[in-house]
Chain A
Amino acid sequence: MELTQKPASEMKFEKPRHWVSVEELKPEYWTDEAIQTRHAQEFYDKPIETLEKIEAMDRAGVSRRDFLTVMGASMAMASFACARRPVNKIIPYVVQPQEMTPGNPLYFSSTCRECANACGLLVKTREGRPIKLEGNEAHPVNRGSLCAQGQASILNLYDPDRLKKPMKGDKGGSKSSVNWAEADALVVAALKTAKRVRIVSLPESSESSRRAIKEFMSSFADAKWIEADPTGLDEVADAQNESYGTRVIPEFAFDRAEMVVSIGADFLGTWGDFVQNAQKWSKMRKLSQAKDALSKLVVFESNMSNTGASSDERFPILPGSEVAVALAIAHEMIVVQKKGKFSGNADVASYLAGSFENWAAKAGSLDGEKVKKIASELWEARGKSIVVGGGSRALQVVVNLLNSNLENDGKTIDGTANVGPHTGSMHSLVALQSELESGMVDVLIVHGANPVYFLPTGKVFGEAMKKAKLVVSVSDRIDETATFADVVLAENHYLESWGDAHPNASAYSVQQPTIAPLFDTRCLEDVIIGWVRGGIKASGLLAQVAQNPKGSFYDFVRENWRQTLYPTFGKGQSFNDFWETTLQNGVLTSKSGTPRERAFKPSSLKIAKDAAAKIKTISLGKKNTGPVVEASGLMLGLYFKGSMGDGRSANNAWLQEMPDPISTVTWDNHLNIGPAHAAELGIQTNDVVLLKGAKGSFEIPVKVQPGIAKGAATLALGYGRTAAGSVGNGVGQNAYVFGQLSSETGMLYSGAEVSITKTGKKYQLAETQLHHKILGRPILNEISFDEFKKNPNASMETEPAVKMDKVPTLWSEPFDYSKSPHRWMLAVDLNSCTGCGACVVACQAENNTPVVGRDRVRQSREMHWMRIDRYYMGDENNPTVAFQPMMCQHCENAPCETVCPVVATSHSEDGLNQMTYSRCVGTRYCQNNCPYKTRRFNFFDHWKDVKDTKNMVWNPDVTVRSRGIMEKCTFCVQRINEAKSKAKDKKTSIKDGDLKTACQQTCPTDAIIFGNVNDKDSAIHAWIKNPRAFRSMEVLNTRPAVHYLTKVRNAEGEAAEGGAHHGHS
């Protein structure tokens, strides 16, 4: 091991093996003086603009000395102000609820209604306030995990921008608040004479709500209910209908699939039941010994998604060409290799007629040999593989053909189990728009859906809404669509309402309110009951509930369960007992039937053939007029992000500030262009371009994104809200205008032809990837599956894990933790981490981590206690990716502890690196000395930004930090102390599994394990004994408590390809 550094002039540039951005691949990055000078600064991450601003400030006379004078004076003032302790009050209950003791949390089961997947929840409440959402382990959809959006949805409850009262006003004009009686009277008057009533909502997964809405609709001559969800899998359901005759969303058994091929479906990140998908997929990614199996994931995609990043083999393709890829694979397997039961089928052969080269050209440039190999590998894994597609219906029918041909249908794909009520049909909105335009709609009721925002023709839809006699919006804010309503009825948050959900055939879950409505709001169903009570006729249960002057949707749900589910599930117990037990469990599960194979109809392939013929072969143009570069003929792919989704929670600051797993950008969307194409056009990250398509144009900053094909550009949906609220308004640009919606194809998000023109403007994206940099130090290990099979310890023998005995040390003998009752350690399996970011938000919710805003993220002052580092390896145009969740490593030989002048950070005998806020004086030496860059400094009193109802989300068990204090991951010490206390109550010790950190609890892929290694039977003990376990930057002899398990890629050679770990070795 070489410990001396060569002078810069003698260094030969070698590409770093793990790199975070394309800049690092250029020799200048490591030698350029200006860049090096910035590196040498204490906080070189600070963007140049800010440094310039600081210099400007200095020139203007606000010198450091003046600053100190002012600060000194204000400190003296502050001291005087604090001379008397403030008088605090204790305000007890008038009558304390029996089940509740102040200081002890209460948990309620409920259902997450943030999206249609309807995960089960366990809501932690303190003194009547919900403060944290966790997954319900008994729930078959999520089995204890939650996604980032689910974790963050609790913040929506306390959003101060929520409507506090119903509003009325002009369509598209101003609105004023009214009381419920007045608002209801207005609506009832219109409904009484209405013939044609239209309801637009997000797909409703609640059986009770469905029944209530249908019974309400029965009283009108012509009532239609349109369910539309931009993230919905309409095209999957439609294609299933065409291929198999039933409109379902099948259930995918990724836990039994040895090979998965995804063509444009981000099934681990945003597509379908992604929490469940990721959970199941990860079951096939756990390795502890050489003979273990590892599934293989192959992804063809235009955008770099979490799924593509987690894949073993990835092919960048052009947006809109997904069907061509599917046809190429099907053609190879069925026509060329003559495999499977459709190989002799003349119909199928005629639909698959074509040449590989033609399809490959449309997809960009596909490596024929590799695709052919994938076709044969798929055939080898028949019955134990899955092909999924994300995109058009044309693609889905070919996917269906592949799955039927591979005998996956009925084995790994269950099209008979899922009832899939939560799929809408976006294309029905086209018909609705023309109905509205013709002025035939009497009353339009909009609930949850936001078509004015998410339709490509949103503005036209809004104008058309003006022709309806009355538009009622049931919404928690005056969003883009509600702006065009006459009456906006303030809606509850789901944590304030009763309800239920039927997410799949085998689960019925209850939605239990955990807090009384904060404002004067109601849930949709209670609004309808109010209308029925006001004189609108209705049938069945709805009429019955409305007759009772005190009847509410709670009674409706209960009665509906009594009628429908109690007879089957409640045998032998009274309904009350059945209901109470279900409330406690949160979910009812039935055994799902065995999957059956279905007959595939070859005729459904016609649309695929037609669609493939319509794909334009890309022809890129480039026009240089002086400094202006215009590139035309690009194919645009729109995608959803795990944080922002379709944009419904754009006002959620936790989600806005969550770094995108791939681009690490917060607070904005951006146009992704591949490095090769960007270099050709002379476009760099942060350049603003004018994006022009057939239907719209806007200016947007570019991000040079490795792994995107030349000629492709991708853009995230869910941004550019104009009426989301104070947080979400004006963040990014609305990409829905580039969607293509027609009643034949439904919504297509990829394949629009666009051009980009460089504007010469710059916009600094608030990306975190260059913050907290490791500067080329060996930080993570990854090897190929072949190597692992030969030698499970192989990763330990590669350079990153330089063994400590080879490095001289100044540290004394390590502390003997074996005598302590506990030795806390955490391990992360890099092999199953998909980088989804749920842990980041869970940590933020648990630990009162502040949101800092776009500008402060630009200055690398984000406060997240854990981040997900994303490293690229290999070719910049198609790199492989590894995610590494990075939090305080709780080093035994902690570099931060030795430099703290006031011992504010120290080590406990159970192995925790403790941060004592009250001792901290804010020197930031510890932050500077931390090799993992996991410490965060409070430059401001961030808690002062938390106002009004938002204050209710604080976790009272965690200190809210003030200005001048360092903070970092504590291993959720409040949970450790709570678990210790509980164990002491029971006079036992903490058992493995009693205690989970917030990140571990929410992780859909069980990639994080925390526990006591002194307990030899614990899972963590087994994990750190795993041959793949290593500690990051072991060479520094910090002896971290956090272990990582090497990423093993199921691909040949490449992943293990050697290379320099240092950018300038």
Chain B
Amino acid sequence: MNSGLRKFALFGVVVSIGLLVAAWQVLPRTSNQGYQPEQPIPFSHKLHAGTFKMDCRYCHGGAYKSAHATVPSVSTCMNCHSLVYPESPWMQKIKKAYAEGKPIEWVRIHEVPDHVHFNHKRHVAKGVSCETCHGNVKEMDRVYQAQPLTMGWCLNCHRGFETPKYLRKAIYPENPEGTDPVAPFTCNTCHY
């Protein structure tokens, strides 16, 4: 092999590796795991759900009756905070929003693409705990995305590969050790 060709081959390899690294850096991530944006009001889930042991569904009432878990309306905050810490600057913001009728714009953390239809109600009804997908929110001062929420991750549970023990027990009480699928996994369960 002559040196010119060798040089060319080497150059090719270097460029290819470079391109791969560049692609890794710039191409979109399929998962947003670990995403922890700042919210307009530093609401602490650790305080509300952890310390005060408030039920998730008090604020996220849609979780058991709709596809969306829903983020609480300002009036839900006011249920308590018209009396609790009304003077805090964040509560002033809430009060102002309530008085002016202007909603708070929260930053969305957990999001599946538009072509995926995820239904909270079905999962909650089946006994999937909030923590299974959302992590230990009770410990989170500022909420972040704990799980990858990718299709592979969804399917690992649906097909029974990595189904949490408690869930398998709830679904197949007679055979908690099996590896059968626990939920449908045809495409149009989620994609339509």
Interface residues in chain A, defined as those with a beta carbon under 8 Å from any beta carbon in chain B = 79-80, 82-83, 85, 87-96, 101-104, 906, 908-910, 912, 914, 916-918, 957-960, 970, 973-974, 977, 981, 984-985
- B192 close to A970 (CB less than 8 A): yes
- B105, B108, B119, B191 — which one has the most chain A CB atoms within 10 A of its CB? B191
Choose one: B32, B68, B192; the contact of A103 (CB below 8 Å): B68
Choose one: A79, A90, A974; the contact of B26 (CB below 8 Å): A79
Give B149-192 interface residues, CB cut-off 8 Å to A: 186-189, 191-192
> Considering the chains assembled together, what is the distance between the CA atoms of A957 and B191 in angstroms?
10
- B108 close to A906 (CB less than 8 A): no
- A88 close to B111 (CB less than 8 A): yes
- A908 close to B75 (CB less than 8 A): no
- B32 close to A85 (CB less than 8 A): yes
- B114, B122, B188 — which one has the most chain A CB atoms within 10 A of its CB? B188
Q: 12 additional contacts, CB 8 Å, given A88-B111, A93-B75?
A: A79-B27, A85-B28, A90-B107, A91-B106, A93-B74, A93-B103, A94-B98, A102-B62, A103-B62, A103-B68, A910-B186, A974-B117
B6 within 8 A of A: no
B142 within 8 A of A: no
Instruction: Please give, as numbers and ranges, the residues of chain B lying within 8 Å of A89 by CB-CB distance.
Output: 105-108
B side interface size, CB within 8 A: 46
Q: How would residues 110 to 142 of chain B score, 1 for a CB under 8 Å from any chain A CB and 0 otherwise?
A: 010111110101100100000000000000000
A374 to chain B, nearest CB (A): 51
> Considering the chains assembled together, what is the distance between the CA atoms of A96 and B119 in angstroms?
20
- B66 close to A101 (CB less than 8 A): yes
A78 to chain B, nearest CB (A): 10
- B65 close to A87 (CB less than 8 A): no
Choose one: B76, B125, B192; the contact of A985 (CB below 8 Å): B125
**CB<8 Å pairs between A and B, sample of 30:** A82-B28, A83-B28, A85-B35, A88-B107, A89-B108, A90-B107, A91-B104, A92-B71, A92-B74, A92-B104, A92-B106, A93-B73, A94-B75, A94-B101, A95-B74, A102-B68, A102-B70, A906-B187, A908-B186, A908-B188, A910-B186, A912-B188, A914-B192, A918-B113, A957-B117, A960-B114, A973-B188, A974-B117, A974-B192, A985-B125
> Considering the chains assembled together, what is the distance between the CA atoms of A977 and B27 in angstroms?
34
B7 within 8 A of A: no
Instruction: Please give, as numbers and ranges, the residues of chain B lying within 8 Å of A977 by CB-CB distance.
Output: 117, 119, 188-189, 192
Residue of B nearest to A847 (CB): B192
> Considering the chains assembled together, what is the distance between the CA atoms of A909 and B187 in angstroms?
10
A987 to chain B, nearest CB (A): 10
Residue of A nearest to B65 (CB): A101
Instruction: Give the 4 A-B CB pairs with smallest separation, nearest first.
Output: A103-B66, A103-B68, A93-B73, A908-B186
Choose one: B32, B67, B71, B75; the contact of A90 (CB below 8 Å): B71
Q: A85-B32, A94-B73 are in contact. Are A917 and B107 (CB under 8 A)?
A: no
Instruction: Please give, as numbers and ranges, the residues of chain A lying within 8 Å of B71 by CB-CB distance.
Output: 90, 92
Residue of A nearest to B72 (CB): A92
- B122 close to A914 (CB less than 8 A): no
Instruction: Please give, as numbers and ranges, the residues of chain A lying within 8 Å of B29 by CB-CB distance.
Output: 85
- A92 close to B70 (CB less than 8 A): yes
> Considering the chains assembled together, what is the distance between the CA atoms of A87 and B35 in angstroms?
11
B55 to chain A, nearest CB (A): 17
B120 to chain A, nearest CB (A): 8
B97 within 8 A of A: yes
Instruction: Please give, as numbers and ranges, the residues of chain A lying within 8 Å of B66 by CB-CB distance.
Output: 101-104
- A95 close to B73 (CB less than 8 A): yes
- B73 close to A970 (CB less than 8 A): no
Q: A89-B107, A93-B103, A95-B75 are in contact. Are A104 and B65 (CB under 8 A)?
A: yes
B37 within 8 A of A: yes
> Considering the chains assembled together, what is the distance between the CA atoms of A977 and B187 in angstroms?
12
> Considering the chains assembled together, what is the distance between the CA atoms of A623 and B102 in angstroms?
74
A154 to chain B, nearest CB (A): 22
> Considering the chains assembled together, what is the distance between the CA atoms of A329 and B129 in angstroms?
77
Q: A102-B62, A959-B115 are in contact. Are A94 and B105 (CB under 8 A)?
A: no
Residue of A nearest to B75 (CB): A95
> Considering the chains assembled together, what is the distance between the CA atoms of A1052 and B116 in angstroms?
54
Instruction: Please give, as numbers and ranges, the residues of chain A lying within 8 Å of B35 by CB-CB distance.
Output: 85
Residue of A nearest to B126 (CB): A984
> Considering the chains assembled together, what is the distance between the CA atoms of A912 and B114 in angstroms?
21
B148 within 8 A of A: no
- B187 close to A101 (CB less than 8 A): no
> Considering the chains assembled together, what is the distance between the CA atoms of A96 and B188 in angstroms?
31
> Considering the chains assembled together, what is the distance between the CA atoms of A136 and B192 in angstroms?
27
Q: How would residues 20 to 54 of chain B score, 1 for a CB under 8 Å from any chain A CB and 0 otherwise?
A: 00000011110010010100000000000000000
- A959 close to B70 (CB less than 8 A): no
Instruction: Please give, as numbers and ranges, the residues of chain B lying within 8 Å of A90 by CB-CB distance.
Output: 71, 105-108
Instruction: Please give, as numbers and ranges, the residues of chain B lying within 8 Å of A93 by CB-CB distance.
Output: 73-75, 103
Instruction: Please give, as numbers and ranges, the residues of chain A lying within 8 Å of B37 by CB-CB distance.
Output: 87
- A80, A102, A974, A981 — which one has the most chain B CB atoms within 10 A of its CB? A102
Residue of B nearest to A918 (CB): B115
- A82, A93, A917 — which one has the most chain B CB atoms within 10 A of its CB? A93
Choose one: B61, B102, B188; the contact of A914 (CB below 8 Å): B188
Q: A102-B70, A103-B66 are in contact. Are A94 and B102 (CB under 8 A)?
A: yes
Residue of A nearest to B99 (CB): A94
A865 to chain B, nearest CB (A): 13
Q: A92-B106, A102-B62, A918-B191 are in contact. Are A981 and B121 (CB under 8 A)?
A: yes
> Considering the chains assembled together, what is the distance between the CA atoms of A977 and B108 in angstroms?
26
> Considering the chains assembled together, what is the distance between the CA atoms of A918 and B102 in angstroms?
36
Q: A92-B73, A94-B75, A94-B98 are in contact. Are A916 and B191 (CB under 8 A)?
A: yes
- A103, A916, A973, A984 — which one has the most chain B CB atoms within 10 A of its CB? A103
Choose one: B101, B103, B125; the contact of A91 (CB below 8 Å): B103
- B191 close to A917 (CB less than 8 A): yes
- A914 close to B32 (CB less than 8 A): no
> Considering the chains assembled together, what is the distance between the CA atoms of A85 and B30 in angstroms?
10
Residue of A nearest to B78 (CB): A95
> Considering the chains assembled together, what is the distance between the CA atoms of A103 and B37 in angstroms?
24
> Considering the chains assembled together, what is the distance between the CA atoms of A910 and B189 in angstroms?
11
Instruction: Please give, as numbers and ranges, the residues of chain B lying within 8 Å of A87 by CB-CB distance.
Output: 37, 107-108
> Considering the chains assembled together, what is the distance between the CA atoms of A96 and B27 in angstroms?
39
Instruction: Please give, as numbers and ranges, the residues of chain A lying within 8 Å of B107 by CB-CB distance.
Output: 87-90
Q: A92-B103, A101-B70, A977-B117 are in contact. Are A80 and B192 (CB under 8 A)?
A: no
> Considering the chains assembled together, what is the distance between the CA atoms of A985 and B121 in angstroms?
9
> Considering the chains assembled together, what is the distance between the CA atoms of A959 and B114 in angstroms?
6
> Considering the chains assembled together, what is the distance between the CA atoms of A79 and B22 in angstroms?
12
- A79, A87, A92, A909 — which one has the most chain B CB atoms within 10 A of its CB? A92
Residue of B nearest to A93 (CB): B73
Instruction: Please give, as numbers and ranges, the residues of chain A lying within 8 Å of B97 by CB-CB distance.
Output: 94
Residue of B nearest to A88 (CB): B108
Choose one: A83, A95, A908, A958; the contact of B187 (CB below 8 Å): A908
> Considering the chains assembled together, what is the distance between the CA atoms of A212 and B116 in angstroms?
51
Residue of A nearest to B28 (CB): A82
> Considering the chains assembled together, what is the distance between the CA atoms of A957 and B116 in angstroms?
10
Instruction: Please give, as numbers and ranges, the residues of chain B lying within 8 Å of A960 by CB-CB distance.
Output: 114
Residue of B nearest to A89 (CB): B105
> Considering the chains assembled together, what is the distance between the CA atoms of A824 and B10 in angstroms?
58
Residue of B nearest to A974 (CB): B192
Instruction: Please give, as numbers and ranges, the residues of chain A lying within 8 Å of B74 by CB-CB distance.
Output: 92-95
> Considering the chains assembled together, what is the distance between the CA atoms of A906 and B103 in angstroms?
43
Residue of B nearest to A84 (CB): B28
Instruction: Please give, as numbers and ranges, the residues of chain A lying within 8 Å of B187 by CB-CB distance.
Output: 906, 908, 914, 916
Instruction: Please give, as numbers and ranges, the residues of chain A lying within 8 Å of B186 by CB-CB distance.
Output: 906, 908-910, 914
Instruction: Please give, as numbers and ranges, the residues of chain A lying within 8 Å of B76 by CB-CB distance.
Output: 96
> Considering the chains assembled together, what is the distance between the CA atoms of A762 and B50 in angstroms?
75
Instruction: Please give, as numbers and ranges, the residues of chain B lying within 8 Å of A85 by CB-CB distance.
Output: 28-29, 32, 35, 111
A106 to chain B, nearest CB (A): 12
> Considering the chains assembled together, what is the distance between the CA atoms of A910 and B32 in angstroms?
33
A76 to chain B, nearest CB (A): 9
Instruction: Please give, as numbers and ranges, the residues of chain B lying within 8 Å of A909 by CB-CB distance.
Output: 186
- A914 close to B28 (CB less than 8 A): no
> Considering the chains assembled together, what is the distance between the CA atoms of A82 and B125 in angstroms?
36
